[in-house]
Amino acid sequence: MANAMLIDESRCMACRGCQVACKQWNDNPAEETHNWGSYENPPELSAITWTKIKFTEKKEGDEVKWLFLKQGCMHCTEASCEAVCPTGAISHQGQYVLVDQEWCIGCGYCVAACPFDAIHSIFESEDGGEQKATARKCVFCVDRTTNDLPPACVKTCPANALGWGDRDAMLAKAKERVGVLQASGFPKANLYGEHELGGLHRLYVLVDRPSAYGLPDAPKHATSTVGAQWLSGIVTAGVVAAVPFWLLFKRQRAKEASEGGEGQ
């Protein structure tokens, strides 16, 4: 059974309780930020901010409306970050798209490839004081959700704007909600995530077109040949000295052995 998060933006009141819960549960530090003229803070997602509420001010005639979007990793079925990762550090574990920190070399290809700007690199100190870049993003609170608990953001939402459960059930609930909104004066209400990139595991009920929220109407999947991936990974590893040359081939052999074992 594949689960998904349902985000009903028509109910979101931008309290940002989800941001706080995400920080607390994942033990991510606060951002160093400042007042930059918006209620939205911090300005962007980062390697230490995995979910955030984006504010969009929209004027329709004499009326000003706010659109709120809960940003974060979509856990795409056809994940661009996974497709371009030269070391195989990013992979699917069921519906989860996860980054294996042991194999991540911080090349940044995933950062550039993500159509939702949901993954970012950070430099961290290792034992011995050496700096290593790694990619970080939302992990769907995998330590909670694999133990039959909802993600921390879903648990804390006071507006009942967030849901978690079987993807088919979440889709049915979302479609019902879209129908209610369309019949209640929101003709542009729509469901986002059912088919995009093979199906997202972050589903949205929106009251306006996706682009009004800053979402791509038709997100594109990044593709790359396997040979080019591995060659570029080797070059990157040599440039940043993140991992020894042989480690890339060791990783590839380990993956092939694992896949061979699963096929038996």
114 shares a domain with 90: yes
Phi, psi for residue 253 in degrees, rounded to 5: -65, -40
The yes-or-no verdict on residue 83 having pLDDT over 60 is yes
The yes-or-no verdict on residue 17 having pLDDT over 60 is yes
147 shares a domain with 56: yes
pLDDT of residue 226: 41
In a domain, 23, yes or no: yes
173 shares a domain with 161: yes
| Helix or strand run (H / E) with residue 236 | helix 226-240
Structural domain count of the chain: 2
Model pLDDT for residues 42-68, shown as the tens digit of each residue: 999 999 999 999 999 988 888 888 999
| Helix or strand run (H / E) with residue 174 | helix 167-182
In a domain, 150, yes or no: yes
In a domain, 264, yes or no: no
Return the CATH number at 120: 3.30.70.20
d(CA 8, CA 105): 36
d(CA 180, CA 182): 6
Model pLDDT for residues 153-202, shown as the tens digit of each residue: 999 999 999 999 999 999 999 999 999 999 999 999 999 999 999 999 99
Residues facing residue 59 across a β-bridge: 64
204 shares a domain with 186: yes
Residues facing residue 133 across a β-bridge: 123
Q: Note down the domain range covering 126.
A: 80-139+221-258
d(CA 255, CA 242): 20
Give the end of a domain, one of 192, 213, 234.
213
195 shares a domain with 67: yes
240 shares a domain with 116: yes
In a domain, 263, yes or no: no
58 shares a domain with 43: yes
Rounded to two decimals, the pTM is 0.84
d(CA 122, CA 113): 17
Residue 55's SS3 state is strand
**Identity at 71, one-letter amino acid code:** Q
Sign of CA dihedral 128, 134, 138, 143: negative
